[in-house]
Structures are given as C-alpha cells and as structure tokens.
Structure 1
Amino acid sequence: MRIAVVGQIARDLVLVVPEVPSAGGSATVSERREMLGGKGANIARNAVGLGATAALVGVVGDDRDGDLLVQRLSADGVAADAVVRRTATRTALVVDVVHDGHYRYLEDIPPACLLTPADVTAASSALASADAVVLQLQQPGNACLAAARAAGGLIVLDGVPDSGTDELLAAADVIRADHREAALLTGREITAVDDAVEAGRALLARGPSTAALEVPGEANVLVWQDGHAAIPLTAEHVVDTTGGGDAFVAALTVALLEGDTPEEAGRKATRAAGQAVTHPGGRTTLTRES
C-alpha cells in the first residue's frame, strides 16, 4: 500500500520544563530532544511504521538542517524524492515547550518553506500512483488543491485549508479535524458527542464519505453515511499532545486502505494517538502490533 503525504517538514526542538517562566524569569530544562518533525514528516514516518510505503512532498531549505532532515527521512524509510530543496532558504524550525502535558509552539517557518502548486505538479506522478494521498492543510490552499487534482486514490484531509475549502471537501474521501478545526469548518462548537455527529454530517454533505472529529478530553467521533461511533480516548498519561493527531491520521489512513470499517479504523487510530502522547515531541514509533 502506497501513501503520499503533502505537508510540513521541520526540525523539532522539544524542551520539557517544570514551569513556564514569566517575563524576565527563567526555567531549567528537564528534558531536551531534537528530531525530524513537521506534521507531514510525522504522518509519513508513522505510515511506514504501520506497514505502508510512504512518499513525502514538502520543502526544506538548502542548509545543513535540510540535509540532515532529508537523510533522516530516508533512514526512516520515507521516500524523499519529492522533497524540494529551496535555495537561499533556511529550513523550518519548531520549538515545542512542554509543561504539564501542554505544548507551546515557537515556529520559524519561512514562507519559502511552504509548497507551491509548481512543487506539487513536479510530484504529480507520486501522487497519481499512491493508494492514498494525505493533505496536511497547513500548506497553502492552492498547493493542496493541485495535490487533490493530481491524486489517484483515497484523499484524506487533515485540518482546515486557508482557501479552496469547498473544492477540497468535494474532492475528499476522508476529513480529520480537531474540535477547533471542526468549529471553523462548520460553525458548530464541539463540546459533546452529539455536536461532533452533527458537525460530521454537515461535512459529509459537502463531499467526504467519512469524518473523524474530536470531542476534547473525551472521544474521537467517526461519522459515515450509514452511522457513527464515539471512541473514548485511551487512558495513557499525557506527556505532550504533540504528534497525537499525526499518529491518528496515519493509522486511520492505513486501516481504511486495509479495508477496515470507519469504526474499526477509528479505534486503531485512537490507540495510535494514545501511544503518541506518552512522550515529548511528535516523533512516535508506531508498529502494526502497537
């Protein structure tokens, strides 16, 4: 099974602190991790761990960090042929400050590290031959639209686009959104399962056949044409929620490609997300047995 992911690549610096200092203060870092990151890279790497082959369409700079991230992708088994090396550009950096299981992101993402339609067109053969294309919607809407038009298989949307929402939803088979993203897409505040079901039905009316939405702190809700299921979150101790959504998307996509029902796929995805939040940072080692 072949999955192509269109999304962000970044160097991640994770700092775990016992407290977040006020202005003029300081805090001692209790744990520090540096790794390949970005939602696109996380999803692609997780898909490989779950048994798929994955190609990543994204952008890094022409600096040393870009060299290292492309090498890391290859070492993780992710095809990096479609990763763009943008000249005279520094690679994106995300600093994840973690306290009490909650992240605070400091992001240095140069505009040149975002995909363009031309970048996507250059990767059209990888998109057309994939069994599924995951569009991580932190990328510009026009680039995501170009990817949706080139896709030859299942189209999975993750998040909220900055433009082209109606056309992307009409092209999509699956959409995953957290409660904030679902509210932006539907105008419905998601505080309970019934809210998520209503929002999911509204999204299905715009194109997708499956919606996966979050009820914060309670459940993931899968909605499809003939039904819905609320899947309780797992009981793991949450260290850092970074990467939970990326693990969910990868596991959901793989399970659907393997023929699982939306409910079965949602249960596997929820377990994967639960595993991802038990450690700092978004780099998670998922396997078919996990």
Structure 2
Amino acid sequence: MEITSIHRPKIVVIGSCNTDMVVKANRLPVPGETILGGTFYMNPGGKGANQAIAASRLGAEVTFISKIGYDLFGLQALEIYKSEKINTEFIFTDQKSPSGVALISVDSFGENSIIVAPGASRSLSLEDIDKAKGKIKEADIVLMQLEVPLETVEYAASIANEYGKKVILNPAPASTLNDSFLRNIHTILPNRIEAEMLSGIKVRDTESAHRAAEAIGEKGIENVVITLGKDGAYVKEKDEFTMIPAKEVETIDTTGAGDVFCGAFSVHLSEGHCLAEAVRFANAAAALAVTRIGAQSAIPYKKEVIV
C-alpha cells in the first residue's frame, strides 16, 4: 500500500564524512603483495554521508550532523551535500584534524576491502550534538552508524529517545555495544559480521539468522534487520520473523550498498510503512546500487526504485 504525504519525512543523519580513494583490480592483494593494472578513482564517501545522500535522493528532508577538516576534501564534501539538498548547518569544522579518508580495494567480483582513517569524524563531540538538539526534536527518524565516537552516538540516541524519536542504528564498523544504549534503539541494521558480534552466533543461514535476531532482541531492541547481501535480509519485527529475499541483479560494485539500504529503509519507515515493507524498498534500492560503480555515485533516486 502506497502512503502519500504532503510533507517530506525529516531525517537527521549523524555520522562520518570521508573521501573514498578506490582502486579496482582483478583480485585483492594478499599481505606483502603488489598488484599492477588497477584503475584508480576518487569519490566522496563515509557511512554517514552515504546514508544522508541516500535518504535525500529517496525523498526525505535530511539534516547531516558531521565533522570535516579544514581542507580540500572537507570543503569539496560540503559543496556536494549542498548540491544534494542536505541541510549542512551542523557539519562542523575541526581546525586540527584532516577530513576522513577511506582506502578501498575492489575486485572483479565486486567484493571490497576497506581501511578508514576517520580524521575529523573522530572529534564529533557531545557539544556538537547539543547544538543540533532542535533538529533532532523536529526529526521523524535519527539514523546513526559507528564511524564517529561511540559516546557521541550513545548521547545522541539518549536525546532522540527522550524526544520520542525513532533511532535507527547501523552498527558498522562492528563493535561491542552496551545494553543500555541498545534499549534506546528502535531498529538495528547489522550485517552478518556485526550480527555475530552482537549475538555471539555465526550467521550462516535462515535458522542461524533467526537465533541471532532473537539474541540481539533480548538486549532490549524490538526490531532487528540482519542484512545478508545477495541473500536478502532477515527481519525481526517485535515477535514476528520474516526472511525477505534480495532482488536478483548482476553485481558490479558492492561499495556503499549497505548505506543505501540504511537510508532507503529509514525513508520508507518514516513514511508510515511497516518494517517488512521498508526492508523490501531498501532491498530494491540497494539492488540498483550494486549494478553501478562507486558509493555516492551509485545511489538511486526515488523514481528509479521499483519494489
């Protein structure tokens, strides 16, 4: 059922801004090995930024809370966010740290390995969140990841929860999280590795995904969505469990596909759809993204997504 609204949903994204430096080669090197013949390209990235752009392109009014360095990468990123119609009022500048960078290797199958040097993203502070409280209070959803300091994410979640806002957490990169923080989360969106870290259960199939979702739910989160790449997503919505298959496409590059999923999920949920419908929409958006090169350049627009 399509739900229409005069007002665009308001989403606040709190997270990282990086520049992705990508090398594409036939295969990923093993430690100590040099591979010749790769192709280099540079793209703006960062989980927070990717998710903010995804939410904006897919129909939300987005405010991005982040931190950049006073350098070319940071200033360039700021211009990109403005061109994507994102509110940049709360993107702060760190005079001492450089903007974050990510070094990404992609093989011919579209698999990737990534090293992130967070730079200014690591100095996003509690005081910065305080400055943006008004926007959090106005939001329908607050979407966060773990590329900024954990104490900042925890603080933002507690404020959003006090205001009665839905907090969506993409627990990436994988980290140990305390239960008091998790109780402030409306929906958590881990991948296989993150779900294993949170639950202690290796996610191999539907049965193990079910057990992992149950274990994560026992920490105080009603809603768990374990993303399983080309296999789809396993959904725990309160006491209901559903396996939702992915759309079959030819994968070219998986970089940023998880971020597209998170942004798309948040938009569809904020429009009043149920969790399963939001996951189907997110699957469709992510499926489009993996057929294209890059992270932000691959993010689809709402009119392109067919569920």
TM-score higher than 0.5 here? yes
Q: TM-score, normalised by structure 1?
A: 0.93
Secondary structure at the aligned position of 1:79 is classed as coil
C-alpha contact (below 8 Å) 2:175/2:194 kept by paired residues: no
Match of 1:207 in 2: 220
- Structure 1: which amino acid aligns with 2:92? V
Gaps of 5+ in 2: 1-8
Name 2:299's counterpart in structure 1: 285
Q: Distance in 2 between matches of 1:288 and 1:251?
A: 9
SS at match of 2:196: helix
CA distance in 1, matches of 2:273, 2:76: 36
Alpha-carbon distance between aligned partners in 1 of 2:148 and 2:106, rounded to the nearest angstrom: 25
- The Cα of 1:261 is off from its aligned counterpart by 1.6
User: RMSD across aligned C-alpha pairs, in angstroms?
Assistant: 1.9
Whether the aligned pair in 1 keeps the contact of 2:16 and 2:121 (CA below 8 Å) is no
Q: Quote the offset at 1:87 in angstroms.
A: 0.4
Contact 2:122–2:148 (CA<8 Å) still a contact in 1?
A: no
Paired residues of 1:4 and 1:130 also in contact (CA < 8 A) = yes
- Write the distance in 2 (CA, Å) between the matches of 1:146 and 1:171: 10
Retained in 1: the 8 A contact 2:67–2:120? no
Contact 1:61 1:91 in 2 (8 A): yes
TM-score, normalised via structure 2 length? 0.88
Aligned to 2:183, what secondary structure does the other structure show?
Answer: helix
The equivalent position to 1:144 in structure 2, one of 153, 164, 187, is 153
Task: Say which of 47, 65, 73 aligns to 2:81.
Answer: 73
Which secondary structure does the structure 2 equivalent of 1:280 belong to?
coil
Conserved? CA contact 1:61–1:113, under 8 Å: no
Deviation at 1:99, TM superposition (A): 0.7
Distance in 2 between residues matched to 1:115 and 1:95, nearest whole Å: 21
Aligned residue among 158, 180, 197 for 2:193: 180
Match of 1:154 in 2: 166
Looking at secondary structure, tell me which structure has more strand per residue. 1
For the 8 Å contact 2:246–2:287, the answer to whether it is kept is yes
Distance in 1 (alpha carbons) for counterparts of 2:50 and 2:60: 14
Large movers: runs of 4+ above 6 Å? none
The answer to whether the aligner puts 1:257 opposite 2:270 as a matched pair is: yes
2:139 to 118, 130, 146: 130
SS at match of 2:302: coil
Deviation string for 1:126-156 (max 9, x for gaps)?
2222110011122222101111122131110
2:251 to 198, 220, 238: 238
**What displacement does 1:108 show?**
2.3
| Letter in structure 1 aligned against 2:99 | T
Contact 1:221 / 1:231 at 8 angstroms: preserved in 2? yes
Contact 2:22 2:105 survives alignment (8 Å): yes
Cα separation, 1, equivalents of 2:258 and 2:16: 14
Deviation at 1:113, TM superposition (A): 3.8
Residues 169-206 of structure 1, C-alpha deviations (whole Å, 9 max, x = no match): 10111000001100110111111112112222222232
My pick for the range that moved more, 40-49 or 141-150, is 141-150
The 3 A distance-change label for structure 1 pair 35 and 25 is: closer
Aligned match of 1:121: 130
Cα distance in 1, alignment partners of residues 287 and 107 from structure 2 = 18
- One-letter amino acid of the counterpart of residue 183, structure 1: E
Q: Structure 1's 266 and 112: CA in aligned 2 closer, same or farther, altered over 3 A?
A: closer
Count matched residues: 289
